[in-house]
Amino acid sequence: MKEKDYFQALYDVAKVVNASLDMTTVLEEIVKSVALTMTAKASSIRLLDSRKRSLMMGAAYGLSKGYIRKGPVLVKESGLDQKALAGQLIWIKNAQTDPDFQYGAGAKAEGIKSVIVVPLKVEKSVIGVLRVYTDKIREFNQQETKFLEAVSYLSAMALENARLHQALKTNYDLLVAHKYRLDDN
């Protein structure tokens, strides 16, 4: 089996993050790159809602529409996500049977076995999770987990940059509107 070039894959993710402030496009490219690099069944990024009660789908690659729409991921009902939102990298050997995985029956129907979850951190705050799903029981080696942690940091940075860009644009638009009102008087 050919060894993966995680450095090249990380470089490709960094290029995507740097190329656009359109978060949908960036997140979709990230999850696709992660799934393909890891030769995994699927990958997703879920983002914490403003009330910090559930994780909303940001982007997914390799998951069916039915699985994506299975229902909300409620933080209080997902031991897995509680741990990830506390900043821990979590590996689940078999999502179909693990009590910490909120939708075990959904995982079985989707053909998901192992799952690794990496927190998305901005400074000390966790804003979401990056997940990788496999269709076979799989352990992840140190090189793979380091790659996923690096991608999660880049993803969180991209999200924060997009948020700051939007706030700056809103402030600029308000300033311009205010200036035009002053000029009209």
Q: Please, are residues 128 and 58 in contact by the beta-carbon 8 Å criterion?
A: yes
Tokens (6 digits) for 109: 């129907």
How far is it, in rounded angstroms, from Cα 5 to Cα 8?
Answer: 5
How far is it, in rounded angstroms, from Cα 26 to Cα 23?
Answer: 5
Tokens (6 digits) for 171: 């402030």
Q: Please, are residues 61 and 35 in contact by the beta-carbon 8 Å criterion?
A: yes
∠ CA 145-146-152, nearest 5°, is 90
Fold entry, domain 6-184: Beta-Lactamase (3.30.450)
**pTM confidence score:** 0.84
> What are phi and psi for residue 58, nearest 5 degrees?
-95, -40
Per-residue confidence in pLDDT tens, the chain, 185 aa: 345 788 888 888 888 887 777 788 889 999 999 999 999 999 999 998 888 888 889 999 999 998 988 877 877 777 788 888 888 999 999 999 998 888 888 999 999 999 999 999 988 888 999 999 999 999 999 999 999 999 999 888 888 777 776 667 777 667 777 666 666 65
